[in-house]
Structure 1
Amino acid sequence: MTTLICNCNQTMPLDPKALGEALDEDLTLHTTLCRRDAPAFQRACRSSEDLVVACTQESRLFTELSEQSEGAVSLDVRPIHFVNIRETGGWGREGAKASPKIAALLAAARLPDAEPVPTVTYKSSGRLLVIGELDQAERAAGMVADVLEVSLMATGGAGMQARRYPVIAARSAQVRGWLGAFDVSWSTGNPIDLDLCTRCNACVAACPENAIGLDYQIDMNRCKSHRSCVAACEAVGAINFQREPQDHSERFDLVLDLRRDPAFSQHAHPQGYFHLPHGLADAKAMDAMLKLRELVGEFEKPKFFTYKQKVCAHGRNETVGCNACVEICSALAISSDLKRNQIVVNPNLCVGCGACTTVCPTGALSYAYPRASEQGVKLRTLLATYQKAGGKDAALLLHSQEAGASLVGDLGRAASLDKTVRGVPARVIPVPLWHTASIGLDVWLTAFAYGASQVWVLMTGEEAPQYRDAVREQMAVAQAIVTGMGYTGQHFKLIEARDANDLGALDAALGEAPAQGVKRRASFAVQAEKRATLELALDHLLQDSATQARAPEAIALPAASLLGAIHVNKDICTLCLSCVSACPASALQDNTERPQLRFIEKNCVQCGLCATTCPENAITLEPRLLLSEQRKQLRVLNEAQPYQCIRCSKPFGTLKGIEVMLGKLSGHAMFQGEALERLKMCGDCRVVDIYSNPREQHITDI
């Protein structure tokens, strides 16, 4: 392993000796690695060892230099890992104290890339539909027509006289699909057929009501049926007021929507769809045009999720239990399939936010790229290296790798220029994620067990509102757990900063005092199963906090908890055991030897399927964390005296269950006399009794 560090023209107080000791590597401090000291980088490129360069600003330059250096190892064989130590630590009021944090960032950069996962493929031949006012649509088309095959859907406005692009006239259209497969449907009912229209403007000049615009469509609310336009267009025959409305549909690869209201209601629009509500004056217009030009060909993205239907708590017997993933998905990629008691995820619509995995109580949905286990290795490496280098009270700052990283960079640059700005404190370790909602309770608590005194999530304006709510709710659960175990201070926090205007608030938020952490760092690995990781974290924290002042019996948790107990009203429960068959986590169990309802609290995911299924409404949920060993043990929630057959004395039900049934059927005409008594018999004896009774035998024969 080769690590190259640079103090960026002496603007960072780096200590190569301290960093080298933490990384077990001899480090040389460079001053201008991207300029005068570039030969050192070129020598490192010729080695087959993994290469880490502590600079992201000049990553493009270093990549080009590697490709041009004679004898350099191909980047396909040995990629270069770039890491930002400048804005995240070296620049700032506490830069001289940031060696432990910088060592941790360098150590994490040494880790191998995430293991590959199945991919989702999109194919685009470049067929673009531009929807909007005709003049705006034609201007937009002109920016991309050299690389894309453009069609226009005019919703009004005046267009150019030259017919440059196919034009579809439709006041409204429905758009469904994704990159390479947008199905657009619309209805045409206007008297002017744009395919026949020559744009001679004769109809426009002839109309006495000025009901025809330069989009060559007739405003039927203004038209008074003079039909002067028909006479003016007689030679062409493009106008026909008797034409019946027709439904049309066509497939496009890309859609550029210039209307004020988007075609998709969800927060995360499908890939390949671009919405500019202010037309070409929109601030994102140029970026959208550049991206459109690049979307021709075949594209792949990771399949970000894995789904295990067996442990899914969404439904049983066509009854909805947990619906958290369906409700939170900002891309509308998740739908319910109750007939199969499961959810369905459309990988083409999934944007990889991972919010569904954060709110999933069972781990049926898990984040696949990177996997939770790979994130766990990264967090353990960061925190272990930080502590080895002498760091204390580490705070992890989880942020997105685009908007979040940009904001952290802005804060670091501001600190280098303005001494009143603290910058990123020495104890705060920024951790970039594909999406800030992709890590949840199990990993947060694991990070706390690894030695992080605090775990913060930085959200910007790019996240859907429901993501912020979900993360805030799950953090309240995590905070309740560690507070109940006796750890003082605020350990989990959501920080919201939308742009550079919020740098002051972000600077203040990162300056929060440390909270009490664990005495002994955990060594367990993050598991593939969410509940398994959560149990390992809880077990470690219970042992570590054994001497802390805490609640003696149980910790009350917020309603969003995926931990808890259930309570059964024994007065109305008939032990029908419908709840047992509905439970997706084997938290509820029966007893084959006697009428009992048993419960393992550790397994309960608080999905509510048992309460929804119970015909007597005898079950209620209690979000909590039981601190005793009883949490892992099988205990009896309800039991009843068995009811014995009045003929053979064999038990076949519960006393309460049979009594309830007899009470409900006693007034029914079909269950009087001997028929009612027969309900007190087991199934075998009922058959015998029917065939041994002459009168019943006669009825049966008939």
Structure 2
Amino acid sequence: MRVDRVDSLCRRDLSRFLDAVEGTDDVLVTCTQEAPVFRELAEGRRSVAPLRFVNIRELAGWGEQGERAGPKISALVAMAAAATQDAVPTVSYRSAGRVLIVGDAGAALDWAERLSGTLSVSVLVTGRAWAPLPASREFPVASGDEVEIEGWLGAFQARWKQRNPIDLEACVRCGACQAACPEGAIGEGLQVDLERCKSHRQCVSACGEIGAIDFSRLDTTRGGSYDLILDLRREPAFRAHELPQGYLHPGSDPAEQMQAALKLSTLVGEFEKPRYFRYEARICAHGRNGKTGCTACIDVCSTGAITSQGDTIRVEPFLCMGCGGCTAVCPSGAISYAFPSASSLGARIRTGLAAFRAEGGRDPHLVFHDDGAGRVLLESLARARPGDAARGPAARRPVAPGLPADLIPVPVHHPGSVGLDLALGAVAWGAASVTVLFTPDTDEGYFEALTRQFETGRVLLAALGLQGPRLRALRTDDRLALHAAFRATAGLPAVDVPASFALPDEKRRAIEFAVQHLVERARAGKREVPRETPLPAGAAFGTLQVSQDSCTLCLACVGACPESALQDGGELPQLRFIERNCVQCGLCATTCPEQAITLESRYLFDEEARSARVLNEAQPFHCVSCGKAFGTRQMIENMTARLTTHSMFGGEKALRRLQMCADCRVADMFSTNDEATIFDFTGPGGRG
């Protein structure tokens, strides 16, 4: 890698940057202060060189420990240089600027008049407060309530109920109805005040052939298709924390409304975003045979993009915002993050930790953050507070605590995408602790979900002798509280020998690799490794307990298991179990007709977790006619006992047939004079 050291890249050394972007090699700028200027210059030169930035000033050089930040700077540069974007499919939006403005008449009509010159505007007036309609029909105006909106940028569908007798879309605004109404119940907004109306219906006569007024209208449903929605009502149409792209909800605040109106003009045209996820239905534990198991991804999604589709889920890529929370909580890895993949991000982290150690650094700590509020909060730790002054006339940096010299920030698209696989992998690669930073503008559900995930991780680490706050999720926008939290991890030692494995994209195998390395290091350090450790309720690892008195070995649970954790015994009447595959989804327990299965959260460090063990087995039952084994003794005995009093199985012969294999049962029916139903599978004329 070629390294150019300059003092004033954005000033007198700017020509060095311009020379670099003329080529095709990657260009990494270790300062973000003038990043927009550098991007603009590169675009002006039509540069094809990949351009990346990393902030080593606020994140490393500034702060109380800046003099010791050399290893961290090496790690930051190495990670930025290693950052590559996986090739992922994209999702395309197309917006022609058809905007529906929803809200009270005053604000909605006012914004419609302002925007109608640049956008294709329609207005849906809600509520009872009416303002005069524009003198000329510059844009469609409708009225209604029970408003329902669904969709996304370029593909919104709006529906509402038109309760008022005057249909504003048909009304020509002649004012004849107003003049005819004896109660003055029709205002300047051309809507009927039904509380004042005395049902004279003179307005209907005045409207005449136009037919815009109908007090007995049965079909009140109205709707339309729109590219954009400007919703001025108090409550949004969507309950999700993250609103769909193209839906703007500024509420009643005039300043927020102005910002939303300005943004509308930027949402016209064609847009693309990554398809952030991959989904493999084969191993999804959401459901089987109409039974519901895991709903973790549906519960955590803040956009409403994930819905149940019977036994599987459906992710609407147009609604997905790429938070990755679904991938962090998915127990099987059926849904995985693609922007970037776990293996790509893992490779970057492993490279950074190696660079940190190569420069003499010890016991590094990682903090994952987004590139918005999280990055700003971290950088603020190194900036001066109001009233601070530099120490001495020659000082060039503010006096502020800054980030610890052993704390390495790792930017991600969204902190919710960081899962237990990546966190444990980082600990195995030599990180003393992993912190994931959430700010209050992120949905609290992501923070709570990751807190539960990390609780499982801390139990695993503690069982291997790695106690302390090594895995943490923080949700704050207070930089002093954040600084105190970072200091709380000081002194935690990292694993003595870092792992070298590459993180696989298969989630459970990634966790297994990390735990196995930590087990090896614990044993190498003469620390006792338990055979197993109990885990918090709801953890995605564990075993099953089967009541042998109740289990009939019907093996319905085997067919319900999406992870092949439960298996049959082949030629033997057995129920086998591979613990490493079990995600504790509960589908087996829900499916079991005998309610013989219970779940138990734990992690088995022993090699036994990898091999199949028998949970239940039974003696085979042999046909009373030919002697062939065809089921279990317990199943046949239970069936015989239950059907003894059934009218269709009265008599010794009928019950005896239950103890025959299928072939002997059919033969016995034809060899006796008993009445039997014969199914004719021949077609017309007796031909099959």
Residues 1:52 and 2:28 aligned together: yes
Contact residue 117 and residue 303 of structure 1 kept, 8 A: yes
Quote the Cα distance in structure 2 between the aligned partners of 1:587 and 1:268: 36
Of stretches 181-190 and 616-625 in structure 1, the one that deviates more from structure 2 is 181-190
Matched-pair contact (CA < 8 Å) for 1:414–1:423: no
Q: Who is 2:377 aligned against? A: 407
How far apart in 2 are the matches of 1:553 and 1:321?
28
Instruction: Name the counterpart of 2:141.
Output: 167
SS of residue matched to 2:495: coil
CA–CA distance in structure 2, aligned partners of residues 699 and 28 of structure 1: 92
Cα distance change on mapping 1:56 and 1:289 into 2, 3 Å: farther
What pairs with 1:390-401 in structure 2 (closer than 5 Å)? Answer: 390-401=360-371
Instruction: Give the SS at the match of 2:647.
Output: coil
| Residue 632 of structure 1: aligned partner | 610
**Share of identical aligned residues, percent?**
47
Amino acid at match of 1:569: S
Q: 1:560 aligns with which of 538, 551, 557?
A: 538
Cα offset, 1:202, TM superposition: 7.0
Counterparts of 2:378 and 2:206, CA distance in 1: 65
Which residue of 2 is the match for residue 219 of structure 1?
Answer: 193
**1:699 CA drift (Å):** 8.1
Q: Superposition RMSD on alpha carbons, in Å?
A: 2.5
1:187-266 mapped onto 2 (5 Å cutoff): 187-195=161-169, 197=171, 211-225=185-199, 239-266=213-240
CA, structure 1 residues 92+205, in 2 after alignment: closer, same or farther (shift >3 Å)? farther
| 1:136–1:280 Cα contact (<8 Å) kept | no
Question: Per the alignment, do residues 204 and 140 of structure 1 end up closer, same or farther by CA in structure 2, a change over 3 Å counting?
Answer: same
Q: After superposing the two structures, state which structure 1 stretch, 445-454 or 201-210, moved more.
A: 201-210
Residues 354-385 of structure 1, C-alpha deviations (whole Å, 9 max, x = no match): 11111111111111121111111111112111
SS of 1:413 mapped into structure 2: coil
Once the two structures are superposed, residues 260-297 of structure 1 have per-residue CA deviations (whole angstroms, 9 ceiling, x without a partner) of 11111222221111112224343xx3442232111111
Other-structure match for 1:124? 95
* Alpha-carbon distance in 1 for matches of 2:88, 2:678: 64
Match of 1:382 among 328, 352, 361: 352
Query: How many Å apart are 1:213 and its aligned residue?
Result: 4.0
CA positional deviation for 1:78: 0.4
1:315 aligns with 2:287: yes
> Map of 1:490-509 to 2, 5 A cutoff?
490-497=469-476, 499=477, 502-509=478-485
Q: 1:344 to 1:65 in 2, by over 3 A?
A: closer
Q: Partners of 1:361 and 1:48 in 2: how far apart?
A: 42
> SS at the partner of 2:366?
strand
**Counterparts of 2:201 and 2:555, CA distance in 1:** 75
Letter in 2 for 1:115: D
Letter in 1 for 2:152: W
- Aligned residues of 1:415 and 1:422 also touching (Cα < 8 A): no
Letter in 2 for 1:526: L
Is 1:84 the counterpart of 2:51? The answer is: no
In the alignment, structure 1 residue 61 sits paired with structure 2 residue 31:
no
Alignment counterpart, residue 342 of structure 2, candidates 348, 372, 376: 372
Whether contact under 8 Å (1:399, 1:435) holds in the other structure is yes
Residue-pair matches, total: 665
Structure 1 residues 235 and 683 mapped into 2: Cα distance closer, same or farther (>3 Å)? closer
Partners of 1:572 and 1:458 lie apart in 2 by 48
The one-letter amino acid paired with 1:120 is V
Distance change in 2, residues 1:386/1:229 (3 Å): same
Q: Pick from 262, 281, 291 the counterpart of residue 290 of structure 1.
A: 262
Q: What residue is the counterpart of 1:430 in the other structure?
A: 409
Contact 1:189 1:245 in 2 (8 A): no
1:272 aligns with 2:242: no
Q: What per-residue deviation string (whole Å, max 9, x for no partner) do you get for residues 553-602 of structure 1?
A: 21111123211111111121111111111111111111122211111111
Taking the aligned partners of 1:680 and 1:231, their CA distance within structure 2 comes to 84
> What residue number does 1:532 align with?
509
**Offset at residue 650 of structure 1 (A):** 1.4
State the partner residue of 1:15.
none
1:39 is matched with which residue? 15
Contact 1:643–1:652 (CA under 8 A) maintained in structure 2: yes
Cα deviation code 1:597-638 (max 9, x no counterpart): 111111111111111111111111111111111111221111
Is the counterpart of residue 444 in structure 1 residue 423 in structure 2?
yes
Cα 1:123–1:563 shift into 2, 3 Å? same
Task: From the superposition, tell whether residues 503 and 662 of structure 1 become closer, same or farther in structure 2 (CA, over 3 Å).
Answer: same
2:120 paired with 1:149: yes
Provide Cα deviations, 1:411-448, integer angstroms capped at 9, x if missing partner: 33246974885222211111111111112111111011
Where structure 1 has 5 or more consecutive residues not aligned to the other structure, the ranges are 4-26
Q: TM-score, normalised by structure 2?
A: 0.91
8 Å contact 2:367–2:434 — kept in the other structure?
yes
Instruction: Give the structure-1-normalised TM-score.
Output: 0.89
Q: Does 1:356 align with 2:326?
A: yes
Gaps spanning 5+ residues in structure 2: where?
389-397, 681-688
Contact 1:474 1:560 in 2 (8 A): no
The answer for the alignment partner of 2:638 in structure 1 is 660
User: Which of 531, 543, 552 is the aligned partner of 1:574?
Assistant: 552
